[in-house]
């Protein structure tokens, strides 16, 4: 099995079951036991007072046994037949005390849980005392697994519950051990588990499991404050999941996913800023924007890094080899930018800021908008956002200069994200309208991406050349790469102009057009008005 991924079958006893009967079924299946033993361990599960980790499907435990004390983080996951495949992170814990906050945890574990609990104290909420009998099994063909028979006692406060569980941890050949799990369930009072140990313990102890991510309640009659809080919660979940990967992996997609969640969140917060007092709304938008700016340079470098090999291959042969030095230089800058971002994500000031952000998004202020049906509020705000796109598109010069082009692109993104949130309220024309909008946004984005890449290369050219022995040749290579992006931007600009003309002439965008009876002063104020053009308030 891949390192860091635990694969196991879980079976839970419905009545008492004897170890000897389990051993007999294992022998019947032709899986001889190569070694056996008995161990005892105590697991203490940690979480914040809100049970944020439990709600996110994460178990953080401190295990104490004859080998010492170890911290472990697991993701909640289950499949058919009691198969659990989940990420597992483990580290030694030498201290005699419990970790106080996520900051106390070893780095890998910290990055897996801190986006969910931030700087809030970690407290013990569940204890499992387990007597375990272990069997090392082998099967025909050499497939190996470990079978554990756990007699567990769960305690939370004064409450106590007991249960028995059989686990088959798979090291290779899942199918072989799936057959053994099925045979055990057929022969004995065992059934495939539907949840992990903490979840089952909660059920036995009569404690509530935090609700899973529920669908956003966007029926037209739902109060706007409640609907926006639910949308924000969903985007914050996506943001936290992406942040875990940004902290732990040198990949481009998690940074992109984090930026998209931020944009979707910003689009809703901006359109419905009247839900909060103005100082809080301003702080909310400024904070979201500041986080986006932290992610921007890393994303730009990732895009350039991914495109650079193809660009280098297109250079003349004499320059292509020299340009490899530019690629090495860029990779070093990608790593440095990612390291800087991770340090900022972990810093106490940012965690405190994130706590305040989540508090604001969870509870809109006592405003008239909060009680207005979301169907009315969303339709008027979508109409205002669509009107802004239309006016920017009609007023932009034919050569699509960079500043107005970028402004139009941002307006398209905001409208698109609002449409994705509220599509169910807008009728059958919206899917076609969103498609046309997405194509325009992507066309404008290609222009911006090429222009950013060309500008960065030219800015870096003196430094790259100064650090290389072949300064002149390298400068020529970098200049060639910048020229290639510049030409690509011109070509993309022509395509974007055609896409814009088609979009403005397309009936689909009118799906967002506001009927006169639906005009809303609040929606206009959310975007502001200046010289007849709707402007977003920052």
Per-residue pLDDT, averaged over 29-53, amounts to 94
Looking at residue 519, what is its pLDDT?
Answer: 41
Looking at residue 471, what is its pLDDT?
Answer: 65
pLDDT at 520 over 60: no
Per-residue pLDDT, averaged over 321-338, amounts to 82
CATH for the stretch 224-534: 1.40.20.10
pLDDT at 379 over 80: yes
Residue range 116-170, pLDDT digits in tens: 999 999 999 999 999 999 999 998 878 899 999 999 999 999 999 999 999 999 9
525/380 Cα distance (integer angstroms): 11
342/108 Cα distance (integer angstroms): 12
CATH for the stretch 5-205: 2.40.320.10
| Phi and psi, residue 56, nearest 5° | -85, 0
Looking at residue 475, what is its pLDDT?
Answer: 78
Residue showing tokens 């006016």: 391
Looking at residue 533, what is its pLDDT?
Answer: 32
| Phi and psi, residue 169, nearest 5° | -85, 120
- Considering the entire predicted model, what is its pTM? 0.86
Q: Where are the beta strands (DSSP E) in 48-82?
A: 58-65, 68-75
Looking at residue 2, what is its pLDDT?
Answer: 47
Beta pairing, strands 33-47 & 123-138? antiparallel
**Which residues contact residue 396 at a Cβ distance below 8 angstroms, ignoring those fewer than 6 apart?**
404, 405, 408, 500
357/22 Cα distance (integer angstroms): 52
Burial classification of residue 250, based on how many CB atoms lie within 10 Å of its CB (0-12 exposed, 13-18 middle, 19 or more buried)? exposed
Question: What percent of the chain is predicted at pLDDT more than 90?
Answer: 59
pLDDT at 463 over 90: no
Residue that wins the pLDDT comparison between 513 and 187: 187
Range from 240-249, 365-374, 375-384, 397-406 carrying the lowest mean pLDDT = 365-374
Going by the DSSP 8-state scheme, the letter that residue 49 receives in this structure is T
114/120 Cα distance (integer angstroms): 9
Looking at residue 458, what is its pLDDT?
Answer: 85
Burial classification of residue 157, based on how many CB atoms lie within 10 Å of its CB (0-12 exposed, 13-18 middle, 19 or more buried)? exposed
Per-residue pLDDT, averaged over 405-410, amounts to 94
Range from 71-80, 157-166, 207-216, 272-281 carrying the lowest mean pLDDT = 207-216
Burial classification of residue 398, based on how many CB atoms lie within 10 Å of its CB (0-12 exposed, 13-18 middle, 19 or more buried)? exposed
Residue range 60-80, pLDDT digits in tens: 999 999 989 999 999 876 566
CA 204 to each of CA 154, 253, 477: distance values in angstroms, whole numbers, following the listed order? 9, 40, 67
Q: Is 494 helix (H, G, I), strand (E, B) or coil?
A: helix
Tell me the three-class secondary structure of 328-372, residue by residue.
HHHHHHHHHHHHHHHHHHHCHHHHHHHHHHHHHHHCCCCCHHHHC
pLDDT at 529 over 60: no
Beta pairing, strands 529-530 & 33-47? unpaired
Domains of the chain: which residue ranges?
5-205, 224-534
Best CA proximity match to 149, nearest among 18, 33, 8, 27: 18
Best CA proximity match to 36, nearest among 141, 139, 147: 147
End-to-end CA distance of the chain: 50
Q: How confident is the model at residue 510 (pLDDT cuts 50, 70, 90)?
A: low
Looking at residue 267, what is its pLDDT?
Answer: 94
Question: What percent of the chain is predicted at pLDDT more than 70?
Answer: 88
Best CA proximity match to 426, nearest among 436, 418, 435: 418
Q: Where are the beta strands (DSSP E) in 172-229?
A: 190-192
Residue range 94-103, pLDDT digits in tens: 888 999 999 9
Looking at residue 326, what is its pLDDT?
Answer: 75
The widest CA-to-CA distance across the chain, in whole angstroms, is 84
What is 142-177 written as a DSSP string? G-EEEEEEEEEEEEETTEEEEEEEEEEEESS-HHHH
193/11 Cα distance (integer angstroms): 5
Residue that wins the pLDDT comparison between 493 and 462: 493
Looking at residue 408, what is its pLDDT?
Answer: 95
pLDDT at 530 over 70: no
Q: How confident is the model at residue 534 (pLDDT cuts 50, 70, 90)?
A: very low
pLDDT at 426 over 90: no
pLDDT at 517 over 80: no
Q: Cα Rg for the chain, rounded, in angstroms?
A: 28
């Amino acid at each position: 099995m891949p390192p860091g991924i635990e694969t196991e079958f879980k079976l839970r006893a419905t009545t008492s079951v004897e170890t000897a009967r389990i051993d007999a079924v294992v022998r019947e299946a032709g899986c001889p036991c190569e070694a056996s033993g008995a161990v005892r361990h105590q697991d203490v599960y940690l979480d914040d007072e809100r049970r944020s980790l439990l709600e996110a499907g994460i178990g953080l435990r401190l295990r104490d046994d004859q080998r010492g004390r170890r911290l472990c983080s697991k993701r909640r996951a289950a499949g058919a037949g009691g198969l659990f495949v989940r990420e597992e992170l483990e580290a030694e814990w030498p201290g005699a005390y419990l970790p106080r906050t996520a900051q106390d945890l070893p780095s890998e574990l910290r990055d897996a849980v801190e986006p969910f609990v931030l700087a809030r104290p970690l407290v013990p909420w569940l204890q499992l005392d387990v007597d375990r009998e272990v069997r090392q099994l082998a099967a025909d063909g050499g497939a190996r697994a470990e079978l554990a028979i756990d007699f567990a006692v769960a305690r939370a406060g004064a409450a106590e519950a007991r249960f028995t569980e059989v686990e088959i941890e798979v090291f290779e050949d899942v199918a072989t051990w799936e057959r053994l799990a099925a045979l055990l369930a057929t022969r004995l009072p065992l059934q495939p588990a539907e949840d992990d140990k903490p979840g089952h313990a909660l059920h036995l102890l009569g404690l509530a499991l935090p609700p899973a991510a529920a669908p956003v309640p966007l029926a037209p009659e739902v109060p706007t404050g409640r609907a926006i809080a639910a949308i924000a919660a969903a985007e914050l979940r996506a943001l936290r999941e992406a942040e875990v990967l940004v902290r732990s992996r040198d990949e481009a997609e998690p940074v992109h996913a984090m930026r998209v969640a931020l944009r979707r969140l910003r689009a809703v917060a901006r359109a419905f800023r009247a839900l909060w007092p103005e100082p809080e709304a301003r702080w909310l938008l400024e904070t979201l924007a500041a986080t986006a700016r932290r992610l921007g340079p890393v994303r730009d470098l990732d895009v350039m890094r991914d495109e650079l090999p193809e660009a280098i291959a297109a250079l003349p042969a004499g320059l292509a080899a020299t340009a490899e030095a530019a690629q090495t230089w860029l990779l070093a800058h990608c790593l440095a930018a990612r390291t800087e971002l991770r340090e900022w994500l972990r810093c106490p000031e940012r965690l405190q800021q994130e706590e305040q952000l989540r508090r604001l998004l969870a509870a809109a202020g006592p405003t008239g908008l909060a009680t207005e049906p979301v169907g009315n509020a969303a339709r008027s705000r979508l109409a205002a956002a669509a009107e802004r796109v239309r006016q920017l598109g009609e007023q932009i010069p034919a050569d699509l200069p960079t500043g107005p082009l970028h402004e139009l692109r941002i307006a398209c993104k905001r409208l698109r994200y609002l449409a994705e949130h509220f599509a169910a309220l807008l009728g059958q024309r919206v899917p076609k309208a969103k498609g046309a909008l997405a194509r325009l946004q992507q066309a404008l984005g290609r222009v911006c991406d090429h222009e950013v890449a060309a500008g960065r290369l030219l800015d870096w050219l003196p430094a790259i050349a100064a650090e290389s022995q072949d300064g002149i040749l390298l400068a020529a290579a970098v200049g060639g790469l910048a020229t290639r992006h510049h030409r690509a931007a011109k070509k993309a600009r022509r395509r974007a102009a055609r896409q814009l003309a088609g979009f403005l002439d397309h009936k689909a965008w009118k799906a967002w057009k506001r009927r006169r009876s639906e005009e809303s002063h609040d929606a206009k104020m959310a975007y502001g008005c200046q010289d007849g053009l709707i402007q977003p308030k920052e």
